[in-house]
Structure 1
Amino acid sequence: MTTKANFPVTAGSVVVPYGHVIGNEKWRGSEVAQRLQGKVKLIFEDGLGLVDFHLSNRTCILYISEADLVAGDEFKRRLVRFRNGSNLRGLVIVEKTQISDQYFSAVQKLVVLELGMVLLPVANQGEAAQLIVQLVREQSRDQGTNPFLRKQRPQLAEPALFQTAQHIPGVGKTKALLLLQHFGSIHRLCNASISELEQVVGQTAAQQIHAFLCS
């Protein structure tokens, strides 16, 4: 019998309103779901297939926990099935901890170089929730019709965004701050070209950042 979990995405035709997040039913009661409540409009659905969270603008989040990394290769098969079976934009959030750090370079190679997806490391579910909130706010802000009225300043009050930038190879607190001040959002940073990055952090760091974030 074929289950919903075998499908890459069953919510692909769903239009998610800005400010909303559709969460996979398996996350109900989790720390990340609890921290999202009250900050975004979270709706649970048991038909998301391989996707953990579905955002607006055809963006999906696949969450790889520390336990997933330690358990084996099932998460790799899930990522490959999503990439091969969906035309949605996939963002991969990975728990990078002391325990999972030894597996991180292999995950980075798979996600970024082989699958061409964006990888966003976090320390725990609490940081992941803050990052999801930041992504939702960026989408809501960027959907305005007048680009001159959009806020360009990064939400530096959101610690997850600052911490995520510091996980990038060659980026410390100073460069993370410069990058966020210049690009203003995690979406713009992920889509920046090498030449755009060079203007902020120089050639060597720009190449490292681009190789880490982009295919």
Structure 2
Amino acid sequence: METKAAAVLNAVPPYGHLIASEKWRNSSLIQSLKGGGVKILFEKELGVADFHLPNKSCILYVSECDIIAGNSYKRKLVRYRNSSSSFQELVLVENTRLSEQYFSAVQKFVVFDLGLTLLPVSGQTEASQLITQIVHGGGGRENPFRRRTSSQLLDPLILALVQQVPGVGRVKALALLQHFSSIQKLCNAAPAQLEPIVGHAAAQQIHNFFHKATAAGT
């Protein structure tokens, strides 16, 4: 049984497929994924993760309800970070009208305290669109996101995260991820380090974006 559980924790679905925790079977997110042509494999023993993607990343989904209900989601995130999975661990967080007042604290905990990659989504519909993009385009012979580095920073989900910064489009996001060897180094970069890559205005916006959570917590 332990061998089977370990195998499931590290199971990589083929491209075009997704492994989902059984608890998501009847969700609107799954229905949207199916509508996008994603083939779903359900599994009861995924551990803490909610989804496994073909690019050897996994996702933990933190919903609006999880955030509003209190701090129990933090224990789940710590277990997720400490799991024995060999996957790159990503966190999708619902940033909605009801949860936005808590978002900076969640961002600080996920990115700065745990060192995980956070991607905000407005809900399950937006999450399904992002996941569908990764499932259909997250790998293959000509995948540009794997070309330059073994740090996995050019993963499409992380690229999408950097593009959330105001004033940063796809070109600037790629340049930043190719320059900095970890998401933590990008988060902690001074404007003077960013300016040669993206220019003065964008450098200040990037610095402010990644430090607003720290400022909110002080």
| TM-score normalised by structure 1 residue count | 0.71
Cα distance in structure 2, aligned partners of 1:126 and 1:144:
29
- Would you say 1:40 and 2:30 are equivalent positions? no
Q: Tell me which of 22, 26, 33 is aligned to 2:23.
A: 26
Deviations 1:77-118 (A, max 9, x none): 011011112342111101111111111111101100011111
- Cα drift, residue 16 of structure 1: 1.8
Alignment partner of 1:204 is 2:204: yes
Residues 1:53 and 2:43 aligned together: no
State whether structure 2 residue 101 is matched by structure 1 residue 111: no
Asked if the contact 2:21/2:45 (under 8 Å) is kept, the reply is yes
Matches within 5 A, 1:3-152: 11-38=8-35, 39-86=37-84, 87-140=86-139, 143-144=140-141
After TM superposition, the structure 1 stretch with the greater mean CA deviation from structure 2, 105-114 or 200-209, is 200-209
Cα–Cα, structure 1 residues 212 and 25, in superposed 2: closer, same or farther, change >3 Å?
A: farther
For residue 138 of structure 1, report the CA deviation from its aligned partner: 3.5
Closer, same or farther in 2 for the Cα pair 1:85/1:37, shift >3 Å?
same
Instruction: Tell me the amino acid that sits aligned with residue 203 of structure 2.
Output: Q
Q: 1:95 to 1:211 in 2, by over 3 A?
A: same
What one-letter code is carried by the residue in structure 2 that aligns with 1:118?
A: T
Q: Which amino acid aligns with 2:48?
A: L
Deviations 1:51-86 (A, max 9, x none): 111112321000001111111222110110111123
Letter in 2 for 1:21: L
Instruction: Give, in angstroms, the shift of residue 34 of structure 1.
Output: 0.3
Structure 1 residue runs of 5 or longer lacking an equivalent are 1-6, 151-159
CA distance 1:189–1:82, shift in 2 (3 Å): farther
State the AA in 1 paired with 2:115.
G
CA distance in 1, matches of 2:61, 2:132: 15
- 1: distance between equivalents of 2:116 and 2:11? 21
Instruction: Report percent identity of matched pairs.
Output: 42
- The aligned amino acid for 2:63 is S
Letter of the structure 1 residue corresponding to residue 50 of structure 2: D
- 1:155-194 to 2 correspondence within 5 Å? 167-168=164-165, 171=166, 175-176=167-168, 179-183=169-173, 193=186
Deviates more, 1:193-202 or 1:129-138: 193-202
TM-score by length of 2: 0.70
8 A Cα contact 2:163 2:173, kept in partner: no
Output the aligned Cα RMSD: 3.5
Give the secondary-structure state (helix, strand or coil) at the position aligned to 2:8: coil
Q: 1:55 to 1:124 in 2, by over 3 A?
A: same
Post-superposition shift, 1:206?
Answer: 3.0
Q: Is the 8 A contact 1:12 1:58 kept in 2?
A: no
Question: 2:104 touches 2:212 (CA, 8 Å); kept in 1?
Answer: no
CA deviation profile, 1:154-201 (whole Å, cap 9, x unmatched): xxxxxx999966754xx1xxx24xx224446xx879967455685235
SS in 1 for 2:12: coil
CA distance in 2, matches of 1:33, 1:69: 21
> Hey, what's the Cα distance between the residues in 2 that align with 1:161 and 1:146?
15
